[in-house]
Amino acid sequence: MDFDLPEPVRELAAQARAVAVELAAEAHLPEDSWLIGNDRDVARELGARKWLGMTWPVAEGGHGRSPLERFVVFEQLIANGAPIASSWFADRQIGPTLLQFGSPAQRRRFLPDIVAGTSAWCIGMSEPDAGSDVASLRTRAIPHGDGWRITGRKVWTSGAAHADWCYLVARTDPDAPPHAGLSEFLVDMRSPGVIVSPIVDMTGNQHFCEVVFDDVAVPGDLLVGAPNGSFKQLMRQMEHERGGIDRLVSNRALYIEARAHADHDDPLVRQEIAALESTYHIGRLLVLREMLGQAPKGFSAATKTICTEHEQRVARFCGRVAGTQAMLWNRVSRSICYAPGYTLMGGTTQILRNILGERVLGLPREPR
């Protein structure tokens, strides 16, 4: 059996790698480039290369390419540190969500700019008192004329300071059971009443933000899918968010450098490298299975857990290889400080293990 990728796909991967290396050379950092590497020119370049909306139907403005082709392009871009954050959320999950749940008018209006790399999006789910438990979120959308007025506070909103649009979840029916009263909106970040305050993280970076919505007017045609039907839509959107290659290779560039400097004569180091290589290859196969639509429903919870725990082990390995150098502020120490976020964002490992146990494996719940 031939496990290698087909020749044209290998050629595409080589092309993407060359582009990524060039883009990364201009960038601030190769690590976590899909999340913190905001660069609108890079987004437009990806659009011009037809690398955005790659697998979306041609009739919807996409390029009709195969999931495998998209997989190798983004594996190379992210593993080599191309700063793709300005287009990543839209390409990874907003576009696919609009394709599935958006109205024809919404798809006609928003997909072309996403495919061209000219609109940047952020995701407004988490709130100060609603992270893991999205159903408890309090941001309210109240009917007003033909549209809505939205008031509330979102937090940890990645890329909000650069975004043109926010994919926002808000409560539309306060009397319904918590998970049944939520709806999704496309909110123009330039609307009066949107206040964005960047938050400085432990590494000094300011990629995520607090976003206040103070009586923001949203037209009625910008509600996505079913009114009060967000919960089901969100579950689908999270599959896009959790099962991708971004969860495996965020710090791959640093690992490759550390591996080259590691003491290969030390059997313990060799053993650690062997374990990291094995989990990397298992993770890559799991992501491929997600991309090809072969993973069981809900299994992205396992894929993300395995992949992001691998990224954390990579950060620790790089720290051990660097030794006392890791006490200084540099790429390694930054990576160690950043790593806890891998198993928080997109759903914490504890929550994902709950999903896996209860919804995927159907294990009995412990009686309360």
Query: What is the closest distance, in whole angstroms, from the C-beta atom of residue 323 to ligand FAD in the complex?
Result: 27
Closest to 228 (Cα-Cα) out of 186, 176, 166? 176
C-alpha distances out from residue 77 to 16, 208, 245, 335, 340, Å = 6, 22, 10, 19, 23
User: Of 229 and 357, which has the nearer Cβ to ligand FAD?
Assistant: 357
Residue 351, interface with ligand FAD (CB under 6 A)?
Answer: yes
Handedness of CA 245, 248, 251, 252 (dihedral sign): negative
Position 354 contacts ligand FAD (CB under 6 A): yes
Interface with ligand FAD, residue 131, by CB under 6 A: yes
Q: Is 241 a catalytic residue?
A: yes
Residues 6+ apart with CB under 8 A from 330: 322
| Residues 182-211, interacting with ligand FAD (CB under 6 A) | 208
Among 348, 356, 357, 360, the residue binding ligand FAD under the rule CB under 6 A is 348
Do residues 342 and 250 make contact, with C-beta atoms less than 8 angstroms apart? Answer: yes
Site map 86..125 versus ligand FAD, x via CB under 6 A = ------------------------------------xxxx
Count residues binding ligand FAD (CB under 6 A): 19
| Separation between Cα atoms, residue 163 and residue 89, nearest integer Å | 10
Q: How far apart are the first and last CA of the chain?
A: 50
31, 45, 239, 241: which is the annotated catalytic residue? 241
Q: Identify which range of 21-29, 154-162, 241-249, 252-260 contacts ligand FAD by CB under 6 A.
A: 154-162
Check binding of 345 to ligand FAD (CB under 6 A). yes
Whole-angstrom distance, CA of residue 54 vs CA of residue 71:
10
158 binds ligand FAD (CB under 6 A): yes
Whole-number Å distance between alpha carbons of 98 and 106: 7
Q: Counting contacts by CB under 6 A, is residue 178 touching ligand FAD?
A: no
Catalytic residues: 241
Binding site for ligand FAD (CB under 6 A): 122-126, 131-132, 156-158, 208, 341, 344-345, 347-348, 350-351, 354
